[in-house]
A and B are shown apart, each in its own frame.
Chain A
Amino acid sequence: DIQMTQSPSSLSASVGDRVTITCRASQSIASYLNWYQQKPGKAPKLLIYAASSLQSGVPSRFSGSGSGTDFTLTISSLQPEDFATYYCQQSYSIPYTFGQGTKLEIK
């Protein structure tokens, strides 16, 4: 199985901050990397697919980059509704695997 490791596991930030979350794969996954946002008690929501493609309806302050083993999710200017847990997920090979999550909290 491909292991996905996110860093940091938790992060405190303020509204308006620029935030970057990192995801590392245990082997190269090209651009087969997706990002999801999950709020408490809710289902995950797709933000970014194919490493850098913004899902329809997702604000442009979210962006993704990377290929191979190292990926980043960047939020350019944090909004109050962005405080949530973020997960990366690889779709390069079965079984599809997720990172452990990064909890973004209000400072």
Chain B
Amino acid sequence: QVQLQESGPGLVKPSETLSLSCSVSGGPINNYYWSWIRQPPGKGLEWIGYIYSSGSTNYSPSLKSRVTLSVDTSKNQFSLKLRSVTAADTAEYYCARVAVGTYWHFDLWGRGTLVTVSS
């Protein structure tokens, strides 16, 4: 079955760029929407943005100035870059598949990866 796996550094220094990848296995990345969602320790969920396999994107306005999503269909993976990070960006980062149609929802999630912003 389709599985998602996040990867990337677990520690990022303040003001630097957080970079994560999500590998999709067991199924195609093409013709799907893919999303990133984060969760600060002990807190709720925040949607970051989504990307279609063609590369079109949509971002949360609160993060739009610092976020870039990209996709590499040849590697069956998509990526997140978050610039100028602060301690407030410390969170568990999840990648997820977006089930589309009339009602969009996140039907498949990666296990998550904890990113800590600290010097």
Partner of B103, one of A32, A95, A97, A101: A32
Do residues A99 and B105 form an inter-chain contact, with CB atoms below 8 A? no
A43: chain B residues within 8 A (beta carbon): 94, 109-112
Contact of A46 (CB < 8 Å), options: B44, B46, B58, B105:
B105
**Can you name the residue of chain B whose Cβ is closest to the Cβ of A46?**
B107
Chain B residues whose C-beta falls within 8 Å of the C-beta of A98 in the assembled complex? 44-47
* Distance, CA A58 to CA B111, complexed state (A): 19
Is the beta-carbon distance between B99 and A49 smaller than 8 angstroms?
A: yes
B45 touches A49 (CB 8 A): no
Q: Which of A67-107 contact B (CB under 8 A)?
A: 87, 89, 91, 94-101
Please give the distance in Å from A53's CB to the nearest CB on chain B: 8
**Is B102 among interface residues, defined by CB-CB distance under 8 A?**
yes
Count of residues in B whose CB is under 8 Å from the partner chain: 21
Asked whether any CB of chain A lies closer than 8 Å to the CB of B61, the reply is: yes
B residues 76-119 in Cβ contact with A at 8 Å? 94, 99, 102-112
What's the least CB distance linking A33 to chain B, in Å?
A: 8
A8 within 8 A of B: no
Give A43 to B102 CA distance when docked, in angstroms.
24
Q: What's the Cα separation between A95 and B58 when bound, in Å?
A: 9
Q: Which residue of B lies closest to A43 (CB)?
A: B109
In-complex Cβ contact of A49 among B58, B60, B61, B103 (8 A): B103
Q: Which residues from chain A contact B110 at a C-beta distance below 8 Å?
A: 43
Chain B 37-67 interface mask (CB, 8 Å, partner A; 1/0): 0000000111100000000001011100000
On A, residues with C-beta under 8 Å from B are 1, 31-32, 34, 36, 42-46, 49-50, 53, 55, 87, 89, 91, 94-101
| 8 A-B interface contacts by CB (under 8 A) | A32-B104, A34-B103, A46-B105, A46-B107, A87-B44, A91-B104, A95-B60, A96-B60
Q: Other than the known A1-B61, A49-B107, A89-B47, what 10 A-B pairs have Cβ atoms closer than 8 Å?
A: A43-B94, A43-B111, A46-B108, A49-B103, A50-B103, A89-B106, A94-B58, A97-B47, A101-B44, A101-B45
